[in-house]
A and B are shown apart, each in its own frame.
With several copies, the nearest count.
Chain A
């Protein structure tokens, strides 16, 4: 299921991710769509730019899928993240999870977006009216004492 995890520089087709996880054993599919929001804490975003360390990012997305299938048996997972320049309301990421039962589908989906924000090497640059900054750069959060990144406050938190 390697091709269930992808980084692309073109618009994401949500339906294709739904198709990837649809199966006869599933009774529930949850989709998360992360979109570019115009306002964040009083600052107006004009556009965003996403950059990825693509081979490692795909590998980490795949690992997240494996973590999910281990924690929530009989789930199917597909994740696509877009990189490059995005405008307001454009889709940055789509996560699709199917499961026989809905509780697992919700939990696993939320787990996926949290893990993406922790371990997947993708960076967002905000272009505001008065400048631009790489996010993460700007957050001034605590360093990573354990050698593993922490969850951080991001666009759709």
Chain B
């Protein structure tokens, strides 16, 4: 099981801020495509992914128990 977090416009498009999935042992890229298609998400090419609170790249492998966060372009400050 992995925990997936969504923020900002993604949270609104999906209708919730987190979900649990059993898509472990796949690269970030695949989870991204899967969710993009399933929820018809917009602007996913601008969205970063963090695994366990650290920025990850598309090739990084998601492991069982990971917390994966989808991070749209930040706008704090």
- The answer to A–B direct touch (Cβ < 8 A) is yes
Whether A121 and B71, one on each chain, are in contact in the complex, defined by CB atoms closer than 8 angstroms, is yes
Main secondary structure of the interface of B (DSSP, over half): mixed
**List of A residues within 8 angstroms of B50 by Cβ:** 53, 56, 121
> How many residues belonging to A are interface residues under a CB distance threshold of 8 Å?
38
Whether A53 and B7, one on each chain, are in contact in the complex, defined by CB atoms closer than 8 angstroms, is yes
A53-B7, A53-B69 known; A118 vs B53 contact (CB < 8 Å): no
Q: Could you give 18 example pairs across A and B, Cβ below 8 Å?
A: A51-B7, A51-B11, A92-B77, A93-B76, A116-B77, A121-B7, A121-B50, A123-B72, A135-B75, A136-B8, A137-B72, A139-B73, A141-B73, A147-B48, A147-B55, A149-B48, A149-B74, A152-B73
Q: Which residues of B contact A (CB under 8 A)?
A: 5, 7-9, 11-12, 43, 45-46, 48, 50, 53-58, 69, 71-77
